[in-house]
Amino acid sequence: MDVRFLGSLANESDFIPLERCSDGRFIAGKDGVKAVLATGDRKVEFILFHQHMLAYVHSALGYPAYYPIEPVSMAKPIKAVLMDLDGTSVRSESFWIWIIQLTTASLLNNPKFELDESDTPFVSGHSVSEHLQHCIRKYCPDKTLEEARRYYFEHTHFQMEEIVKGRGKANAFTPSPGLKEFLLELKNANIKIGLVTSGLYEKAWPEIVSAFRTLGMGDPKDFYDAIITAGYPLRKGEVGTLGELSPKPHPWLYAETSRVGLGLSADQRSHVVGIEDSGAGVCAIRLANFSVIGFGGGNIIESGTKGLCDHYCESFEEIWRVIR
């Protein structure tokens, strides 16, 4: 079976064959279904038909979704590059995993609690609520998501204030090596740049500002052509925005950045590429029907999503050679 239309690097061994989709709606070998394949972390399932394909995205919050998958190709000239924030542009994933750990420790009333290495694919790359729901199910099923979110934002507010005051966790937000040079190359080539993150605004914006301050690049709002975050959290007495049910691996953040933020129509999608270091992000780009450049250092290999990539690079210099 040829699975290369999922990604140029794809082969059957990259995916887990299933007898049926998790919701039981589609069964391999019946009603035109050729196969049902899952990513290594089983977060996304692909239902292959003779003429088309669907993707099924799980939801820890109870709202899964199906998306049509189109063949993709990378066509030059590249008109836009969509870039992830955490892990790709800024090395901060360990900081936010640490916040999840602090939150779980608070739920357990155990300050010595530490996450297990096997938790990493489930506490990075997705929404805050997805991360917290994983920890609740595994470590404290008697607790609620609402309790976890309260602790999470308490820890986040405190730690972000400490960082701004110069007293916070050391090296929490570090620009990825070669980021400045890569961004300037894109600008000089008149390639539009969109920054995309599943992070909520209150946690994402300080990261971006901190990185640009370190790089001496001024105001990121003046540099990027579009910046899309997961919005504002819903808390009692405040108005929130959509972001917890529609983050990566759903396609909407990347689709909105390209279509609304950069003004590129769907028929130009072959001239758009996305760069991601996480399995959830790789799926989000692919489900938005853009070509994916996987970036080493994240959990793409561990999550079993390398097969969705058209290229896999270890540096921005290598990525530039691919897209220039």
pLDDT at 1 over 60: no
**pLDDT tens figures, 240-252:** 888 888 889 999 9
Least confident piece of the model among 29-33, 156-160, 178-182, 201-205: 201-205
H-run or E-run covering 84: strand 80-84
Tokens 């919701």 correspond to 23
Percent of the chain with pLDDT over 70: 98
Strand partners, 69: 53
Question: Which pLDDT value is given to residue 58?
Answer: 92
What's the mean pLDDT when you consider all of the chain? 92
pLDDT reported for residue 2: 63
Question: How far apart (Å, rounded) are the C-alpha atoms in residues 14 and 26?
Answer: 21
- Both structure tokens of 319: 């990525």
Q: Is 270 exposed, middle or buried (0-12, 13-18, 19+ CB in 10 A)?
A: middle
pLDDT tens-place string over residues 15-65: 999 999 999 999 999 999 999 999 999 999 999 998 899 999 998 888 999
Average pLDDT over residues 190-208: 90
13 DSSP assignment: G
| pLDDT range class, residue 193, cuts 50, 70, 90 | very high
C-alpha triplet 104, 105, 109: angle, nearest 5°: 120
Whole-number Å distance between alpha carbons of 294 and 74: 14
- 1-15, 146-160, 176-190, 211-225 — which one is most confidently predicted on average? 176-190
Whether the per-residue pLDDT at 303 is higher than 70: the answer is: yes
Tens of pLDDT along 97-135?
A: 999 999 999 999 999 999 999 998 889 867 788 899 999
- CATH level 3 topology of 80-92+175-323: Rossmann fold (3.40.50)
Q: Is pLDDT at 166 greater than 70 in this prediction?
A: no
For range 230-238, the mean pLDDT: 84
Q: Find the Cα–Cα–Cα–Cα dihedral 306, 320, 296, 181, rounded to 10°.
A: -160
In order, the DSSP letters of 184-241 are: HHHHHTT-EEEEE-SS-HHHHHHHHHHHHHHHT---HHHH-SEEE-------TTS---
Question: Domain segments of the chain: what residues?
Answer: 4-69, 80-92+175-323, 93-164
Percent of the chain with pLDDT strictly greater than 90: 69
Task: Please state the rounded mean pLDDT for residues 270-288.
Answer: 96
Range among 231-235, 282-286, 303-307 with highest mean pLDDT value: 282-286
Model confidence at 162, pLDDT cuts 50, 70, 90, reads confident
Query: What tokens were used for 321?
Result: 């050679």
The string over 158-188, giving b where at least 16 C-beta atoms fall within 10 Å of a residue's C-beta and e elsewhere, is: ebbeebeeeebeeebbbbbeebbebbebbee
Q: What is the pLDDT of residue 13?
A: 80
Question: 103's torsion region: left (phi>0), alpha (psi -120 to 50) or beta?
Answer: alpha
More confident site: 174 or 142: 142
Average pLDDT for residues 71-89, to the nearest whole number? 94
Q: With a cut of 80, say whether residue 305 has pLDDT above it.
A: yes
306 pLDDT higher than 90: yes
Residue 68 pLDDT grade (very low, low, confident, very high; cuts 50, 70, 90): very high
Residue 16's H or E segment, with its range, is strand 16-18
What pLDDT sits at residue 300? 93
Q: Is the pLDDT of residue 232 over 90?
A: no
Hey, is 41 helix, strand or coil? coil
